[in-house]
Amino acid sequence: MARGLENHVIICGYGIVGQKIAEQLSEHGVSFVVVDVDSRKVEELAERGYNVVAGDATRSSTLKLAGIMSARAIAIVLDDDAKNLFTVITARDMRKDVFIATRANDAFVREKLIEAGANRIVMPQITASKEIMKEISKKGSG
């Protein structure tokens, strides 16, 4: 539950990407709330003292419980592009001014996420391939 939190970040999805975001936010002292549908993850996170909401991030009632009305940003990092898109639509409908960062696996979905109001879209496969190419280029030129 996100009672009393303000200017926090909502992390929708606690997979690998969501975990890394939570670690980074913790390291920087930024308060956050994790939203996930997996009751085991939610229970584990609550035991660790995390702010956590059990529920479907595509639903406005879940985002409301996570404190979207007072959040500074929302990171939508579910493993399903369609759910990411639907969550962006829901979040943008609820808050016109919240910063929305999300992920996409498909270029077509990326365009739809932009249309839906996402401020920043990361495509993990493209980001990873660019990083690998940069490293290969360094080794090849040295």
In tens digits, the chain (142 residues) has pLDDT values of 566 789 999 999 999 999 999 999 999 999 999 999 999 999 999 999 999 999 999 999 999 999 999 999 999 999 999 999 999 999 999 999 999 999 998 888 999 999 999 999 998 777 777 778 888 888 766 5
Give the count of beta carbons closer than 10 Å to the beta carbon of residue 10.
29
Is residue 12 a contact partner of residue 73, using CB atoms and an 8 Å limit? no
The CATH code that applies to domain 9-141 is 3.40.50.720
pTM value?
0.88
pLDDT of amino acid 3: 64
pLDDT of amino acid 2: 62
pLDDT of amino acid 128: 74
Considering only CA atoms, which of 102, 96, 89 is closest in space to residue 69?
A: 96
pLDDT of amino acid 106: 86
At residue 100, what are phi and psi to the nearest 5 degrees? -120, 120
CA within 13 Å, CB half, 138: 6
| SS3 at position 40 | helix
Domain spans in the chain, listed from the N-terminal domain onward: 9-141
Adjacent-strand bridge partners of 9: 32, 73
